[in-house]
Structure formats: structure tokens, C-alpha cells
Structure 1
Amino acid sequence: MSGGALTVLALAVAAAAFVQGTSGLGFALIVAPVAGLLDPGLLPGFVLTAMIPLNLYVAWRERHSLDLRGAGWITAARLAATPAGLALLWVIPEGDLGAVVGASTVLAALVSLFVPAFTPGRGAYLGAGVLTGLTETATGVGGPPLALVYQHRPPGELRATVAVCFLAGEIASLALLFATGRGHPADVGRAALLLPALAAGAWLSRLAHRRVDAKRMRGFVLVFALVSGVVLMAGA
């Protein structure tokens, strides 16, 4: 990867870490389309690897707001669906992965924009876990189903619970990817190289997460996801 491409990726990682640290979602919606445009080989391993330290930090920072019951149901369903997400990777050629990420990003953003308010229950938790297991393992983008479940809950609860669910799922997905030969050590190296950019975004989110209007931030993320998803599909 050229120096210019690495700089673009670092800026995307920093911005995404700030957005997710502030609003509770958005990292993969921002980074996955950018990574797909720069190098489809970065998907999904690099995105999954880069999110682990961010979600560790957010989960610890917001630990007092965690919805333990919801996180348990979501994680159980997420882990059960992980092998099916891996199967999608075997079916989808690498050259077409960018188009799949773009389409899934646009669809998820549209659903997130128009879904009505509701109170989540066990069925919603299980459904979100299954969808996240499929999409995050295959493409690195798994946040929208969780955002749909928690978008009308207090911001701290959304941030804490989504971070914990992501963390468990990312570790499981990466373990399965490496066990089946679909994981690449270079993804870990790139994620480590961009750790300062991620740390900068996370640190800024610490200063802003109680001050920034989470609804406006969420709107920005979804609009960005729509635009970047369309661009990614067009490029593919």
C-alpha cells in the first residue's frame, strides 16, 4: 500500500474512532468502504482487527451503562451465526467483495434511517445477533443491526452494549478466519501501524461523547455510509 493510501486510511480510522467513541456506532460504516476502495484485500480482517482496541476502550469507559441481558442474547446469536458469515466469504469472490460491502452498507443505512421507534426484546436481540454474525464476519460491517436495536436507548447504554457485543464477535470472527486460512497476518500489522490514529480518535471522543448531540452524529454517519456505499458499488 502506498504512503498516500495509508494516510487516507489513517484519517478514516481516526475519524471513525471518534465517531464510534462518541455515538456508539460508525467505525465499520466509515472504514470498510474506504478500505474497500483502497484495497479489497483489507476486508474483513483489517476492519475487525482495528476495532478490537477501540471496543475494549469504549466498553471499559461505559461499563456502568451495559445492558447485560441484551448483550448476552446478542452475543449468543452472533457466535452461532459466525460460521455462516465465513461461508459467505467462500462464496463471494474477493473482487466482488467491495460491491457486497457497498450494497450492505447502503441497505443498512436506509433501514436505520427509516425504522420506527420500538422497545427491544429477546426476538430483536437474537435477530440482531444473527445478522451481525453474518455481515460482520463476511464484510467487517456489523453495526447497523445493533444500532437498530439500541438507537432509541440512552446513548451510554448503546455505546457500552454495542462495544461488548462487537468485541466478542470480532474475536470469534478473526479466530475462525485465521483457523480456516482466510485471515492474513498483514491485517494485524496494518492495524497495529494505525493504532496511533485510532487512539487519537478515541481520545477525542472521550472529550466529546457527553457534549456532542448523538442523534446528529448518527445522522452524519448514516449519510456518509449511503454516499460511500454508492461510491464503492460504482467502483466495483
Structure 2
Amino acid sequence: MGYSGIECLALLIVLFGSLVQGLLGIGFALLAAPLLYLLEPRYVPGPVLLLGFLLALCMRLGNRQPLAWRRPMPAILARLPGAWCGGLLLAWLSSTWLGLLLGCSVLLATIFSYRWLEVRCTPQNLAIAGFCSGLMGTATSVGGPPMALVYQGRSRVNTRDELAAFFLLTTPVSLLFLLSQGRMPLDYLSATFKLAPGVVAGYGLARCLEGRIDKRSPRQLLLLLSLLAAGGLLTVSLWRLWAKT
């Protein structure tokens, strides 16, 4: 199975995104989706969601503790209607305008959270974040920023384990909505299969670095990743608008 130059670069992007999420519990789609889209638009949203699910599965198999689903349960339940709304938005808005809307929303939420607002990890906030994550994840494959904002005050280990459970249990919902709309053609499976080794390698590297990473709250890094995601979405969307003119 040969790899082109673009596919090798995509493999490195997937590896790095998997490494970050393997350490923090979030970050794969935040980093990978905008960069992969710039390389090849067909990587988003289907392959990124499939690879994210594979990574969540690796994290679950590598964790001997019980599945940490109790705290994020409000977010898990709220992602169902969020994914449905994301599917409706895909049919109603062009992906370009949707990317601009979501990018602006994430950017504003991150700035407010960093400067003025501390979002606590309460059931109500988890439900709101889960809904927004379902909407954004289904429409753009980037469903992490809302959850990152809610988990900014939690410890790194708790964040990693609970978000792994969240994405493992909810990503199939977004995939089903995409499948029902005919947005999961067979070439998505081929692209996903070729990039899957990057997920395994990135997670394996994260396991090797586990004891060397600070276990305190990764608030600043999570906010930075959300900011990067917003910038990536806005950049990609503006680039697509410019390309159409």
C-alpha cells in the first residue's frame, strides 16, 4: 500500500493530533480537521470522525479503569439532538458559511472564557456543551471546543478519561447522520484506512510519554487548542469563499 506525498503529510498530522488527544483527552479534530481539509477536502468530515472514533476506541482499550461515563452523561444525551441539528444545517447551509459561523462562535467563546468567563463543569453546562459538540462535530468534524471549555478546570487525567468516553459513545451518532444523508461514500473508508496507522502510532507515543506530563489542569492548553480550532475553521472557510470568487 503506497502513500503519496499528500498522504504522508496527512499521516503526520493524524499522528500529532492523536498524540495530543492521547495526552489531554481532546485535540485530535481541533488540530487535524483544518489541516487535513487544506490538504484534501474529502478528509472532512467523514474520515476525521472515523479516525476520531478509532482513537477513542484505542484510549478505551488502553485504560484498565471502568468507562468514565457518569459525569459526561448530560453531554452524551444532549449530543443526540445536537447531531440531528448539525445534519439539518448541512442540508440548509453551505459548508463554507457554516464553517464561518462556527469558527466565529468558537473564537468568541474562547476569548470570553479566557478573559472574563469561567465555565464550570456542571450538568447544565455539560448538556449545552454536548449539544454544541454534536452540532459542530456532525457538520464540520470539530466537536471538541465546547467540551474543552467546560473541562478547562478539570485535571488532565479526568479530562482525558471522561472525554474519551464521551467521544467513544457519541461519535457513531454523527457518523449515522452523515451516512443517512449520503455523505459517507466508499472512498471515505479507503482514506480512513490509510491514515489509521497514524492514530495507533500517536496514541502509542502518548502512552510512552504518560509519566512525563504534568497532571494538573491543562486549562491554558485547552483554550489555546480551541483558539487554534477557531482560527483553522475561519481560515479554511475564508479560503473557500475566496476560491469561489
Distance 1:108 1:45, change over 3 A: farther
Residue equivalent to 1:143: 144
SS state at 1:64 partner: coil
User: 2:154 maps to what in 1?
Assistant: 153
What residue in structure 2 maps to residue 167 of structure 1? 168
Q: How many pairs were matched up?
A: 235
Query: Does the 8 Å CA contact 1:13/1:31 hold for their aligned counterparts?
Result: yes
Q: Give the aligned residue type for 2:197.
A: P
Shift in alpha-carbon separation, 1:102–1:40, aligned structure 2, 3 A: farther
Q: Compute the displacement of 1:31 (Å).
A: 0.9
Retained in 2: the 8 A contact 1:11–1:197? yes
Give the RMSD, CA atoms, in angstroms: 2.6
Residue 110 of structure 2 contacts residue 149 of structure 2 at CA under 8 Å; is this kept in 1?
no
More helix by share: 1
1:30 has 2:18 as partner: no
1:232 aligns with one of 220, 233, 236: 236
Change (3 A) 1:32 1:76: same
Output the amino acid matched with 1:228: G
Please state how far the C-alpha of 1:7 moved relative to its aligned partner.
2.0
Q: Which runs of 5+ in 1 are unaligned?
A: none
1:87-119: CA deviation from partner (whole Å, max 9, x where unpaired): 111122245565456545544544554464454
1:190 aligns with 2:191: yes
Q: Give the whole-Å Cα distance in 2 for the aligned partners of 1:101 and 1:196.
A: 30
Match of 1:6 in 2: 7
Tell me, yes or no, if structure 1 residue 80 matches structure 2 residue 81.
Answer: yes
Shift of the 119–99 alpha-carbon distance from structure 1 to 2, 3 Å rule, reads closer
Alpha-carbon displacement from aligned partner over 1:39-73 (angstroms, at most 9, x marks no partner): 33332111101111101122343463754322222
Q: Unaligned stretches of 5+ in structure 2? A: 241-245
Give TM-score scaled by structure 2 length.
Answer: 0.83
- Between the aligned partners of 2:104 and 2:135, the Cα distance in structure 1 is 14
- Bigger mean CA deviation after superposition, 184-193 or 81-90: 184-193
Q: Which residue does 1:44 correspond to in 2? A: 45
- Give 1:130's aligned residue: 131
Q: Alignment identity in percent?
A: 31
Read off the aligned partner of 2:125 and give its amino acid letter: A
